[in-house]
Amino acid sequence: MNLKFSPRLTPPDKSDPRYYGTGNPFVAGGFGLPNCTCYAWGRYWENLQTAGITDPPMLQRSNAENWYNDEHFYRKGKTPKLGAIAVWRQGAYHTEEDGAGHVASVEQINDDGSFVCSGSALNGAEFRIENYNADGYKPGFILDGFIYLPFDYEDETKTQSATTNPDTTDLDTLKKENEALKIEVEALTKERQELKDKVELLNKEISNTKKNKFEYTVSKDAKYKIQINSEEELVIKSSETREFELRLLENDNLYIR
């Protein structure tokens, strides 16, 4: 189902029965706009109709704080989706004394996970735009989660899943990155071992220089310098074969230039 999402960023018309008609149970019960539950119920109905679902929503008809906890008909989750209802509570469920909670409809999801809602407020604005960070922070409220529509909009499946919903595509990407890191670690470990082997070989060579006599063959007019301890020098100019016994201290290094 390829459905394009149309965000509501302006108030609905007062003749719209989904928001102002008695088909909305909050209007019928005397709790019409301004009221967050009345608005969210109407907006959800409006979104259902974009998919050809004409029946009224099967949403909760109690205070906003109970909507997420008591919802068992529609899908729900902890990440925002276009057209979903965001639900906040203030205290215990079904307890008006500590606050009735709040609901609003998700109209836009940004790349950083923050989201924009349309909504209303009891004894306040009939319509307003609400902006939230990715964690849905609202002073004095706790974000319970989101009640999803029974379908996804095309806009969401193309642009939102990678940034706000860690689906299988994200998991595949993480697995590939993890495999690449493992290969890199293995290569570094191999390189480290090769360097370690070279150091051990050099140590053996140094050990041998301290115990054995070395024979150097030099060509005519050649000049070699053997430097011991960076102080003593022996210059060879002869074409003869000579033997030199090098006396090295424990930490001496042999340099040949």
What is this structure's pTM? 0.61
pLDDT of residue 12: 97
pLDDT of residue 160: 42
Structure tokens at 163: 């940034």
> Between the CA of residue 87 and those of 70, 138, 155, what are the distances in Å?
11, 11, 22
CA distance 188 to 192: 6
pLDDT at 212 over 70: no
Structure tokens at 107: 């109209």
What is the chain's alpha carbon radius of gyration, rounded to the nearest angstrom? 38
pLDDT digit string, tens, across residues 108-120? 999 999 999 999 9
pLDDT at 99 over 90: no
pLDDT at 189 over 70: yes
pLDDT digit string, tens, across residues 135-166? 999 999 999 999 999 999 986 544 443 334 44
Q: Which long-range contacts (CB under 8 A, 24 or more apart) does 67-74 make?
A: 67/37, 67/101, 67/103, 67/144, 67/147, 68/144, 68/145, 68/146, 68/147, 69/93, 69/144, 71/147, 74/147, 74/148, 74/149, 74/150
What integer is the mean pLDDT of 203-218?
A: 55
CA distance 125 to 35: 8
The fold adopted by the segment(s) 17-165 is endopeptidase fold (from Nostoc punctiforme) (3.90.1720)
